[in-house]
Amino acid sequence: MKAFCSKNLFNRVWVPTIILCAFFLMETHVNAQVVNDVAKKKISIGVGLIDDIWMKVPSGVKTRTIDQGVQLFGMYNIPFGKSNFGFSIGLGLTVHNAYGNFIVNSRADSTRLVRIPDTTNYKRSKLMLTYLELPVEFHLKTNSKVSVGLGFKVGMLVASGMKYVGNGNISTWDIKSDSPDKLKLKMGKIKNLEQFTYGPTLRVGYKWFNVTASYMLSPIFTSGGPKMYPLSVGFVLMPF
């Protein structure tokens, strides 16, 4: 059996997530004590969950109905005079996951999603992608505390990886195992991924609870991989 494991995967994926979560909690605590109403209108902090609906998945490969991910962001708000309309620009981090009946098979010039045999008993297999994003949004905030935002975001890939937990009787370019014993496989730095993504966003909220949707116009892989991309729906909490 041959497997690849990125030593920096934890640092590249979870450390930024933990830092942003800590920042979110710290800012919420500070906000409750010292931030005045004017400052709260200028800055918005959000944290939430998404479900990725994967489009153009290769034939024979299936993804789960619920492919949960995480979204975190901070926005600077610019009102249009005294109207209810405004513009926001910010910085965010989104973690996408694709759980399915496949293992990522990656080489320098080609990446494939190899279907796990039906006879193989496995617990989990997923592809993980983390993007640092620059979102912009035009929004309307009504006097009844309902808000609607239309926007666009550009993302830069900062981490990628694959995780498999299951029996070892699997076979790909890089993995050869006939052992019935349980196998835990991690692989980082998936090849042939697009480094930049972009797409429109939508947000509808009431007070601090918001429903969100985003559509990635660019595929996650280059010409060396499948042309799949996610439609993401979820919710985000924005206490200020």
Of 61, 157, 165, nearest to 117 by C-alpha is 61
The per-residue pLDDT for 94 is: 97
CB 16 within 8 A of CB 133: no
Q: What is the mean pLDDT of residues 124-144?
A: 95
Q: Which of 98, 110, 214, 91 is nearest to 158 (CA)?
A: 91
Residue 9, amino acid: L
Q: What is the pLDDT of residue 1?
A: 40
* 11 pLDDT above the threshold of 80: no
106 band by pLDDT with thresholds 50, 70 and 90? confident
Structure confidence at residue 139 (pLDDT): 95
Architecture of domain 9-237: Beta Barrel (2.40)
pLDDT, averaged across the chain: 85
Q: What is the pLDDT of residues 195-223, one digit of tens each?
A: 999 999 999 999 999 999 999 999 999 98
Look at residue 237 and tell me whether its pLDDT is greater than 60: yes
Tokens read off for 229: 């991309």
Phi-psi region of 118 (alpha: psi -120 to 50; beta: other; left: phi over 0): alpha
The pLDDT score that the predictor gives to residue 137 is 97
Every domain of the chain and the residues it spans? 9-237
Q: Among candidates 115, 13, 32, which has minimal Cα distance to 72?
A: 13
pLDDT tens, position by position, 159-196: 999 999 988 777 777 666 666 678 888 888 899 999 99
The answer on pLDDT for 53 being more than 80 is yes
Sign of CA dihedral 108, 153, 10, 58: negative
What is the rounded average pLDDT of the residues 66-78? 94
